[in-house]
Structure 1
């Protein structure tokens, strides 16, 4: 069987293309899966199909990782999926209330004009039909009272289970603190939910010996982040060419900490190519897999923007 060549980016689905990797060749796999929260390339997916994808990709790592190798998954611990069984969320934002019409005023108008419908009552009171409905029914659902709500799911235990079942074990965990990019967004005034400003790094280990070399990082790096459980790294400032980038510094830290020079680093969800660029800059080989042709091209172009670090590539 002809295996995938190093320092290439391949077009295909991760759960299929990973089967073409040389067995026990990958020292580090670093990736962030699709979250299925509405991006163009994931609109047809469901929570069940998302679980199946993760399960298959993680199972493939039992075959691809070398003994003592690591799999690091970067993902937010809370995902939201539409669920018609979730009650409609009702939030009364008093500070943003634009109409002074109260429930008592609506009930009084209904008593005086029992034949009026909601639209006529709205005209009488000088407000919208939605305001009449909200005052009568306690219905203050942003986006429409018939909109399907989202369900919050804690997902860390899913990937731990999938890995454990194939003999890959949770070794450690880091927390990546991003800057709260959306803190000034208008939506934050209509909810009590926190602004998303962190993601988790789940670090898995395939049983086998690995080397601990204190010289791979400087003393300052060990002090600042190498031995720390919380990493403060600003998020990517522009996502115009790809909607789900993570910063190069994040990939670089993972690669420096959990692999060695000339090791093979895998990213089965390569996206815009950040993991490959970080691998090149840190003297590692890489293999990338990406199912969207336009992002394969983007990743290749980004790699070629680094001529001093460019390696011989034979894209397939």
Structure 2
């Protein structure tokens, strides 16, 4: 990536080459993210296309029998408007099971889309719907939960929500994944927060879907290093570890991500794409009960899965559908462009 030079101002310590390596070396020019990465725009083999059409039709009919007509359903993307508690209760009465759930609930910090609760009420509420998800999950299924921090009165200001929720369901906690990013809130009397957590749960810790080869990182520092005459690293790359570096969906003049929607809490497609690849297979059913702007839905459909989303607010449902249609248009344009060459 091309480096951008920064003018030096010796009157400011942070602008001096002797103190700031970015000034000395130059910074990478900002590249705004696309509506969707090219990895989600690739055409599927004809055999997979046929299976996806059949699976989508089957899942849609099963859902209609227990949940009624969806807010929107097309091309593997199914969205219901309503409260997750009631929708999950109705879903549990059907034969349809979920292969993977990926979601990020409200953090109980006063956002526009949540109602205030005490910490204990919040824990009880989360425990209830987490156990509902367990009930509708396939025996070898997984649950990835993205959570941040909240305030516990008289105890702590930035308490990691995983401390409060990790054992509040029947799921088995396999591990915690740290998602770190560069941009974020600036603070004066504490360190600036630059990470959130993903809790990786499974239903059966002895048998669950995990496709490591699909998410290996090819950026290996010493790719040709050998031991006893054999290459040390897998030819597909290294295990990406439990610390993930993905930029947040940014806002601001000249720096806003193209995937940004009007939804106030949107996690990036890059993160959810890795989770979908790791913990599901093609034609699997993937649920997001706090669908929001449907990042989970975009990544799921782009990778050949069937998406089921629940969203309480109609305006967010409309944002999600508009985003999905924009994604499908971009996907079609990508196909047509490839065919030209």
> Do Structure 1 and Structure 2 share a fold, with TM-score over 0.5?
yes
Deviation at 1:220, TM superposition (A): 1.9
Please say if 1:232 is aligned against 2:245: yes
Map residues 146-295 of structure 1 onto 2, 5 A cutoff. Answer: 151-163=157-169, 166=170, 168-183=171-186, 188-189=187-188, 191=189, 193-207=190-204, 209-213=207-211, 215-217=213-215, 220=218, 226-238=239-251, 241-295=262-316
Partner residue, 1:59? 131
Q: Distance in 2 between matches of 1:31 and 1:210?
A: 19
Contact 2:147 2:196 in 1 (8 A): yes
Deviation at 1:224, TM superposition (A): 6.7
List gaps (5 residues or longer) in structure 1: 87-149, 311-316
Q: Distance in 1 between matches of 2:292 and 2:138?
A: 24
Partner residue, 1:34? 106
List gaps (5 residues or longer) in structure 2: 1-61, 71-75, 220-233, 252-259, 333-341
Deviation at 1:213, TM superposition (A): 4.6
C-alpha RMSD over aligned residues: 2.6
Deviation at 1:53, TM superposition (A): 2.1
Q: Distance in 2 between matches of 1:225 and 1:235?
A: 23
- Secondary structure in 2 aligned to 1:41? coil
Higher RCO (C-alpha under 8 Å, 6+ residues apart): 1
Partner residue, 1:69? 141
Partner residue, 2:151? 80
Runs of 4+ with deviation above 6 angstroms: 221-225
Number of aligned residue pairs: give it: 235
> Quick check: which has more Rg, 1 or 2?
1
- Secondary structure in 2 aligned to 1:55? helix
Deviation at 1:230, TM superposition (A): 0.7
- Secondary structure in 1 aligned to 2:167? helix
Deviation at 1:9, TM superposition (A): 0.9
- Secondary structure in 1 aligned to 2:307? strand
Contact 2:212 2:278 in 1 (8 A): no
Q: Distance in 1 between matches of 2:106 and 2:275?
A: 19
